[in-house]
Amino acid sequence: MSIYKGVNLLPKVKTKEIKKYSSITKKMVLYLFWLLIIIIVNVISYIPVSLEKVQLLNLDKRRKQIIADLQQDQKKYILYHNIVFRLQIIENLQKSRFYLSKLVDVVDNTVYPSVAGQYTIHKDGTVSIGLSTDTFTKASISWHKLLTQKQVFKTLNLSSFSNQNEKIPFILKGQINLDTIKQDDTTHTK
Amino acid sequence: MTRHTQNKKSKKFTPKKDKLHAILESIATLTLSLLSIASIFFFIIPNINQTFELKKDIDKLTQEVTALNKKLDEINSYSIEDLNTLYEKTLQFIPENINVGSMGASINQMATNSNLEIQRLTLKEEPQNRNLKLQNSIKTSLVLPLKSITAPFIMLGQKQDLLQFLDTLTNSLEAREFDTVQLIHIEDKWMLKLELTHLYMSYIKEVPISSTLPNLNKSLLSRLEEQLETMNNQNTENTSIKQTAKTASNKE
């Protein structure tokens, strides 16, 4: 026996124990990796937020700069908008206008054998037409003819009729489609 | 003897250690799981939501900045003199104030031009407030100090002349409106009943700086200029006709 050979006083490590410790180490690494992933994911999820915030701040800065530029020349800005508002009012008024002549044309060209003697039109499209003829049959023919103008008249009802000195005056009341007698692009040059 | 004791000890402590390890492992797993869930619910999801909200805000602000920039460029493209000229032109259509007397004279002139006879003209001198609210998307609203004077009138004349007069009124870009029009046949003439409302607006001294306020309608402006030119030409013609008539009468 050599004097260099020592005596092993430590207990012999079993394979089972080695496996156990290696498994603990693996688990520790796994936990650390898990934690690292949580941190990385959180950091990554915050990157777009911070980028968007920077972009928003830059845009807000730009907006304030433009407003400051506009305020610098406020007199011009106010004058410009006074023109804009006036033009807008004119535009709104133009949209609500209608031509009585267009309605009169439609009625006069349709009501034969009756004759129209009164036209009343309201800007909400309510219309009243006073007509006269010599027989009830002719009156009903005229009413029927007007009803065939479906693109102009939405509704048209017989409001009243009478028999006066061999004349039959009658009034038709209803609703018309205002768009058909409103200003279009070609009429403004009229 | 020593090895035997140590073996005994290790055997004695192993179950406890295993239990401790198991507990520590469970705690670590539970903590990390909770941390994962918490980071998903309290960090990742709110961050995603915030990103979407910020994106929306950015889109809105980008639109606003673009509109403001466009407006700044447009306003800068006009000189103060240009704007003053344009404003003077719009005043011909919506004045800052209405003189009731001159309005009556203007209606009378229009009637005479169309060979019509005014039977009755009433001018209500009390102006009506018709404040017009301009709403925009930035939740600011601007109230335009619009006012009106109503002039109900009755005119007599031929049917075609009355219809032509009405068409002229409708074609005109002047700030007038009418609610009800009535055309009645009376004996050999026709009667036109009309309640004409004239609008006017004082100069607005304060305008909020907002990109959503409307831009200048250039096509309408050019129509306005076109009509103003026609009106001026007509006035010149009328004046020259009057002058010719005057010169002729003087010669006589």
pLDDT digits (tens, 9 = 90+) for A68-84: 998 888 889 999 999 99
| Interface contact B75-A93, CB threshold 8 A | no
Q: What does the block give as tokens for B54?
A: 């910020």
A83 → chain B, closest CA residue: B87
Residue B134 has pLDDT above 70, yes or no: no
Identify whether A162 is part of a domain.
yes
pLDDT above 70 as % of chain B? 81
Greater confidence, B133 or B233? B233
pLDDT over 50 at B122, yes or no: yes
The answer to whether the CB atoms of A88 and B61 lie below 8 A apart is no
Q: What is the CATH number of the domain that holds A145?
A: 3.30.1360.100
Beta-carbon pairs below 8 A across chains A and B: 200
Tell me the one-letter amino acid at A66. I
Same domain as A85, residue A42: yes
What B238-247 contacts at long range (C-beta under 8 Å, 24+ apart), as own/partner pairs, is none
Task: State how far the Cα of A62 lies from the Cα of A64, in Å rounded to an integer.
Answer: 5
DSSP string, B12-72: HHHHHHHHHHHHHHHHHHHHHHHHHHHHIIIIIHHHHHHHHHHHHHHHHHHHHHHHHHHHH
Average pLDDT over chain A, rounded to whole? 86
If DSSP codes are grouped into helix, strand and coil, which group holds residue B126? coil
CB-nearest to A100 from B62, B65, B166 is: B166
Distance CA B12, CA B5 (A): 10
pLDDT tens digits along B196-205: 888 889 998 8
Domain encompassing residue A133: 100-182
User: A189 lies in a domain?
Assistant: no
Q: Is residue A146 part of a domain?
A: yes
| A87 and A110 fall within a common domain | no
What does the alpha-carbon distance between residue A99 and residue B163 come to, in Å, rounded to a whole number?
9
The owner of tokens 């050599």 is A2
CA–CA min distance A129, chain B (Å): 10
Count of structural domains, chain A? 2
CA pair distance B145, B148, nearest whole angstrom: 10
- Whether residue A76 is found in the same domain as residue A116: no
Domain match, A104 and A177 both: yes
Q: Is pLDDT at B14 greater than 70 in this prediction? A: no
Residue B67 CA to residue A128 CA, distance in Å, equals 47
Å from B166 to nearest chain A CA? 7
What's the pLDDT tens digit per position in A97-140? 888 888 899 999 888 888 889 999 998 889 999 999 988 888 89
**Is the pLDDT assigned to residue B249 strictly greater than 60?**
no
- Radius of gyration, alpha carbons of chain A: 46
* Residue A6 maps to a domain: no
Both A70 and A22 in one domain: the answer is yes
Look at A81 and B207 and tell me if their CB atoms are within 8 Å.
yes
A4 lies in a domain? Answer: no
Residue B10 backbone dihedrals phi, psi, to 5 degrees: -60, -40
Q: Which of A97, A112, A139 is the last residue of a domain?
A: A97
Nearest-10 Cα torsion for B109, B110, B116, B122: -80
Question: How far does the CA of residue A123 sit from the closest CA of chain B (Å)?
Answer: 5
Among the partner residues A46, A91, A118, nearest to B217 by beta-carbon distance: A91
Interface contact A80-B83, CB threshold 8 A: yes
Chain A interface test: which of B181, B188, B189, B217 (most A C-beta within 10 Å)? B181
Residue A113 lies in a domain: yes
Question: DSSP 3-state assignment of B114?
Answer: coil
Residues B227 and B238: their CA atoms lie apart, in Å, by 16
Among A68, A97, A126, identify where a domain stops.
A97
Q: Which of A71, A90, A188 sits opposite B93 (nearest CB)?
A: A90
State the distance between the two ends of chain B, measured CA to CA, in whole angstroms: 160
Are residue A114 and residue A69 in the same domain, yes or no? no
Q: Indicate the residue type of B187.
A: E
Smallest CA–CA distance from B162 into chain A, residue: A101
Closest Cβ–Cβ partner in B58, B74, B134 for A59: B58
Domain assignment present for A5: no
Do A79 and A58 have their domain in common? yes
Q: In the prediction, which pLDDT does A97 show?
A: 84
- Higher pLDDT, residue A153 or B211: A153
Which of A97, A126, A161 is the last residue in one of the domains? A97
Question: What is the total residue count of chain A?
Answer: 190
Note whether A81 and A150 are same-domain residues: no
Compute the mean pLDDT over every residue in chain B, rounded to the nearest whole number: 81
Residue B61 has pLDDT above 90, yes or no: yes
Asked if B48's CB is within 8 angstroms of A89's CB, the reply is no
> Are residues A60 and A84 both part of a single domain?
yes
Question: Using the beta-carbon criterion (under 8 Å), do B166 and A101 form an inter-chain contact?
Answer: yes
Closest chain B residue by Cα to residue A42: B44
Position A187 in a domain: no
pLDDT at B241: 44
User: What pLDDT score does B245 carry?
Assistant: 44
One domain for residues A19 and A45: yes
Distances (CA, A) of B17 to A17, A31, A105, B21, B32: 12, 19, 107, 6, 22
Asked if the Cβ–Cβ distance from B80 to A27 is below 8 Å, we say no
Please report residues of B whose CB lies closer than 8 A to that of A49.
47, 50-51, 54
Contacting residues of A for B223, CB less than 8 Å apart: 188
A92 and A120 belong to one structural domain: no
B176-186 and B189-201: which strand pairing? antiparallel
In one-letter notation, the amino acid at residue B219 is S
Percent share of chain A, pLDDT over 70:
94
pLDDT 10s digits, B139-184 = 456 778 888 888 888 999 999 999 988 888 888 888 888 888 999 9
Q: Do A84 and B217 touch (CB under 8 A)?
A: yes
List the beta strands (DSSP E) in chain B. Answer: 117-121, 128-129, 132-135, 141-144, 146-157, 176-186, 189-201
Same domain for A106 and A176, yes or no, is yes
Cβ distance A86 to B181 less than 8 Å, yes or no, reads no
Q: Report pLDDT for A43.
A: 93
Q: Name which of B163, B177, B205 is nearest A78 (Cβ-Cβ).
A: B205
